[in-house]
Amino acid sequence: MSNNSIAPPAGNRADSGLAEAKLTTWHAVAQSLAIGPIYSAAIFGALIAATAGGVAPAVVVISVVGALALAWVVACYARRYAGSGTVYEYISNVLGRRAGVAASLGYGLALLFLGPPFFLVAGLLFQSFAIAHLGFDPGWWTGAVGGLAIVVALQLLGVALSVRVQLALTALSAIPILVLAIVIIAKGGAGGNTLSVFNPASSTHGDVFRALLFAVTLFIGFEAAASLGEETADPHRSIPRAVIGTVCLTAGWFVLIIYAGTIGFGPGQSAELWGSDPNGLATLAHQYVGAGDATLIEVAVLLDILAVWMALTNSLARLAFALARDKVLPAAFTRTTSRGVPWVGIVGCALVALAMLLATAIVNLEERFTMLSILILPGILAVQAIYALLAVAAVKIVQPGYRWLALVAAAAVPVLGIYGTINPFPEGPVRWGIWLTLIGIAAGVLWFAYLSVRRPSALESVPHIADGGIAIAAESPVAIEGERA
């Protein structure tokens, strides 16, 4: 491995130290699309069903409106700025460097806590799969560590390969679930196809508002494509298309799968049956398609977890690279391999994942999934706060008028998500996630204070963007020509 990218001067993206700018729109789509459409439909679908009272599809449709608004906001930024630091560069150029550094620390916290816990899930699911289908118990940690090793090896081989693998895993994982949905709808589910599940008012026993908060989580990570800005041939065109296209694709996917699951169990029984069964889609596959499809769905969720980790780590490693390039983080994070891979960030993410897995093994909890809730809560809170900040800051780059309605929708969705996460305040061990969030905030404040005293230039200069971003930032913040969703 070579150190060939220590704080390069502003200029061509090819001089940044990352991979040469050859990625296309499809590579960017793969990066965003890997953030959990399969896993989210399976796991969060059950949570939405448990709280929606038979109108889960209506709740998902409402969340789609907010997700599209957020995607449009990110696309507005991506048309102007094309760095690898995404949120860091967006906020720095609009609200100032100090706000950008603070936002980037929060976004980094989000990615750090959203990614590694997925290997805990992978380990638990692999253990269950091995017991049921292979006849032995490998222990939950075997699948977790093994999956981590595979993913890190793929990422170190280059970003082009890793995003292709992400897209392949996502596409293959979708097939058995898509077959299930088509079969359920063709058979009419438990009581026939019905449009009543798309009417929130038809819920007789459910909390539509709280279910909406779970539905918002379905779309977390759609902005991941923006982290490939410096490695994409035409980022100002490809990244906005990838971000909005990904949300459109996943919106249709989530509506289809949640509708099929709801009528599959029956609108009146979905809250109880699906809400209490994390493997609900596999259960439906046994009933409507057969044991073979059920097994494939279990494998699909495992494969999708690997894709999610790769996408999240690609984003976090490049954020760390951008921050280190501007002396916000240690210079070691600017080191890349001969293939342009920011290996220090990727290996660092792997070490954090191992530490979280070790903590899971040490802490005595009756349910390992409780540990998942604890570890992932800081990430959910942080990313929703960043989404709200992006929407509010976009006022400076979007002309006044009807477009501001989209900004209101984009800000309201994550704010509601935060409110629903902390109210009512989590009970039992899950509340440790709140304390973990506060510890993360305190660590960010201390690092910000250190920069203010020891590296004040890191909080004052314009962030380096190896695509002419400095010149763009110097322009007055007016609406972009041709700006549209």
> Could you report the per-residue pLDDT of 27-49, keeping only the tens digit for each?
777 777 766 688 788 878 888 88
Mean pLDDT over 331-337 rounds to 92
Does residue 205 surpass a pLDDT of 80? no
* The pLDDT value given to residue 367: 67
* The pLDDT value given to residue 368: 65
Least confident of 77-91, 195-209, 247-261, 411-425: 195-209
pLDDT range class, residue 112, cuts 50, 70, 90: confident
pTM of this prediction?
0.81
Q: Helix/strand/coil (H, E, C) string of the chain?
A: CCCCCCCCCCCCHHHCCCCCCCECHHHHHHHHHCCCHHHHHHHHHHHHHHHHCCCHHHHHHHHHHHHHHHHHHHHHHHCCCCCCCCHHHHHHHHHCHHHHHHHHHHHHHHHHHHCCHHHHHHHHHHHHHHHHHHCCCCCHHHHHHHHHHHHHHHHHCCHHHHHHHHHHHHHHHHHHHHHHHHHHHHHCCCCCCCCHHHCHHHCCCCCHHHHHHHHHHHHCCHHHHHHHHHHECCHHHHHHHHHHHHHHHHHHHHHHHHHHHHHHHCCCCHHHHCCCCCCHHHHHHHHHCCHHHHHHHHHHHHHHHHHHHHHHHHHHHHHHHHHHHCCCCCHHHHCCCCCCCCHHHHHHHHHHHHHHHHHHHHCCCCCHHHHHHHHHHHHHHHHHHHHHHHHHHHHHCCCCCCHHHHHHHHHHHHHHHHHHHHCCCCCHHHHHHHHHHHHHHHHHHHHHHHHHHHCHHHHCCCCCCCCCHHHHHCCCCCCCCCCCC
pLDDT range class, residue 364, cuts 50, 70, 90: low
* The pLDDT value given to residue 119: 76
Share the mean pLDDT of the chain: 81
* The pLDDT value given to residue 14: 40
Does residue 11 surpass a pLDDT of 50? no
Give the model confidence (pLDDT) of 417-458 as tens digits: 788 778 778 777 878 888 989 999 999 999 999 999 988 888
Least confident of 214-228, 270-284, 308-322, 390-404: 214-228
Does residue 76 surpass a pLDDT of 80? yes
Is the model more confident about 468 or about 248?
248
* The pLDDT value given to residue 477: 36
Least confident of 250-259, 443-452, 459-468: 459-468
Domains belonging to the chain, first-starting first, are 16-460 (1.20.1740.10)
Mean pLDDT over 6-20 rounds to 47
* The pLDDT value given to residue 345: 92
Least confident of 18-22, 153-157, 229-233, 480-484: 480-484
Does residue 187 surpass a pLDDT of 90? yes
Mean pLDDT over 107-130 rounds to 82
Least confident of 1-15, 60-74, 78-92, 319-333: 1-15
* The pLDDT value given to residue 53: 77
Does residue 484 surpass a pLDDT of 80? no
* The pLDDT value given to residue 57: 93
Least confident of 6-10, 31-35, 146-150, 413-417: 6-10
